[in-house]
Amino acid sequence: MGALLSFIGVLVLVLVAVIGAKANMQFILGVAVPYAAAATFVIGLVMRVMKWASSPVPFRIPTTCGQQKTLPWIKHDWVENPTTIWGVLARMFFEVFLFRSLFRNTKTELHEGPKLVYGSAKWLWFFGLVFHWSFLVIAIRHLRFFSEQVPGLIQLLESLDNFLQIGAPGLYLTDLALISAVTVLFLRRVVLPNIKYISLPADYFPLFLIGGIAVSGVLMRYFTKVHIVGVKQFTMSLVSLSPKLPQSEIGAIFWVHLLLVSALFAYFPFSKLVHMAGVFMSPTRNLASTGRIKRHINPWNYPVKIHTYEEYENDFRDKMKAAGLPVEKE
């Protein structure tokens, strides 16, 4: 149900773009919507992160799959349970670039007996990694449409992506990788009954949206073709803040691609996709385990009003003496 709903959602976006391009609504599709989406993306993400940033930092979490620094003869795991900034940086590096947490993913199965069996499950980590990395490479590669002199690094990346030189225009390996990975991630949600049970439209929609973006991009590059020089003139006019709509026909598929990308940008800050920013703020990853090395004061401690024994005696000295109680000061 959630999958169908999300699929229809993406389909509606595609239809809106096709009809809009036919009905001469290029200004809305090409200028108003992309600018609004980019602004929503940046402002929305910054506001969401600032909201997170205003919450107090929790106490250091020492139970993070690695031996905490303790007695000298117990081997300390400096990456998984770091006490220094360098250890934290290493742990964040493994998390952000290699999805270390997902690498620890396990599966739980109930066998006959009944016997409960745990095992390693790396395939989600693998396809997740393929998905994110190819998406990143594709995003960086697109900078060739947004820079006059395409930086050498981007050209190098592109030539690596195209290094098998299959066909012309050359087949990008990341195009294949992204589409296969997004397919696997979708199948995971519909094939595995336990994952299907917990999947919501908010899980399916980004998958369909990103799948739609990839398919429309692949169609545009390898099959239906667009007037690519016209496209770059248009994208360059967008980023130089003097938008000029293409004068000649550039192909409806471009407007589909652009609207889907705009939808992704606009949807980003309000969805699960903000894990892009959230991963940097995971307290089990970015806090050095210095719970015992340094003193961490509870941020919402208020000054406690105390009444010392000395003050107590001052208050009641006469009465205490009268009652024959010993006092410290006469």
Partner 1 sequence: MNDKGKIMAGLIIFIGIFTFPFYSNLGKASAVPEPLLNTPVIKQMPVKQCVETKEYMRANHMQMLNEWRDMLLRDGIKTYKSMSNGKEYVISLQNTCLNCHSNKKDFCDTCHKYLAVHPYCWDCHFGPKEAGV
The minimum distance between CB 234 and partner 1, in angstroms, equals 11
Q: For tokens 């407007």, what's the residue? A: 255
Contact partners, residue 184, CB within 8 Å, separation at least 6: 123, 127
SS3 for 24? coil
Q: Which of 71, 74, 198, 241 binds partner 1 (CB under 8 A)?
A: 241
Q: Which is nearer to partner 1, 38 or 90 (CB)?
A: 38
Residue 132 binding partner 1, by CB under 8 A:
no
Q: Which stretch binds partner 1 (CB under 8 A): 44-52, 109-117, 255-263, 322-330?
A: 44-52
What count of other Cβ atoms lies within 10 Å of the Cβ of residue 113? Answer: 7
The minimum distance between CB 325 and partner 1, in angstroms, equals 45
SS3 for 33? helix
Give dist(CA 85, CA 287) in Å, integer.
9
Residue 239 binding partner 1, by CB under 8 A:
yes
Q: Which of 236, 245, 252, 279 binds partner 1 (CB under 8 A)?
A: 236
Binding characters for partner 1, 274-303, by CB under 8 A (x = yes): ---x--xx---------------x-x----
Residue 247 binding partner 1, by CB under 8 A:
no
H-type helices in the chain, by residue range?
Answer: 2-22, 26-27, 33-53, 85-98, 100-103, 123-141, 152-161, 173-191, 193-198, 201-218, 228-239, 252-267, 275-278, 283-286, 309-322
Q: Which is nearer to partner 1, 78 or 145 (CB)?
A: 145
Give dist(CA 250, CA 246) in Å, integer.
7
Q: Which is nearer to partner 1, 50 or 304 (CB)?
A: 50
Residue 168 binding partner 1, by CB under 8 A:
yes
Q: Which of 1, 50, 71, 110 binds partner 1 (CB under 8 A)?
A: 50
Q: How many chain residues bind partner 1 (CB under 8 A)?
A: 44
Buried b (16+ CB within 10 A) or exposed e, 38-73: bebbeebbeebbeeeeeeeeeebebebebebbeeee
Q: Which is nearer to partner 1, 198 or 241 (CB)?
A: 241
Residue 233 binding partner 1, by CB under 8 A:
yes
Residue 228 binding partner 1, by CB under 8 A:
yes
Instruction: Give the phi and the psi of residue 120 in degrees, each rounded to 5.
Output: -80, 145
Give dist(CA 289, CA 46) in Å, integer.
28
Query: Residues in the chain, how many?
Result: 330
Q: Which is nearer to partner 1, 54 or 194 (CB)?
A: 54
**In this structure, what is the dihedral angle of CA atoms 279, 283, 287, 292, given to the nearest 10 degrees?**
-160
Within 57-96, which residues bind partner 1 (CB under 8 A)? 57
SS3 for 65? coil
Q: CA distances (Å), 325 to each of 135, 311, 314, in order?
A: 80, 16, 14
Q: Which is nearer to partner 1, 72 or 167 (CB)?
A: 167
Residue 155 binding partner 1, by CB under 8 A:
yes
Interacting residues toward partner 1 by CB under 8 A: 41-42, 45-46, 49-50, 52-57, 143-148, 150, 154-155, 158-159, 165, 167-169, 225-229, 232-233, 236-237, 239-241, 277, 280-281, 297, 299
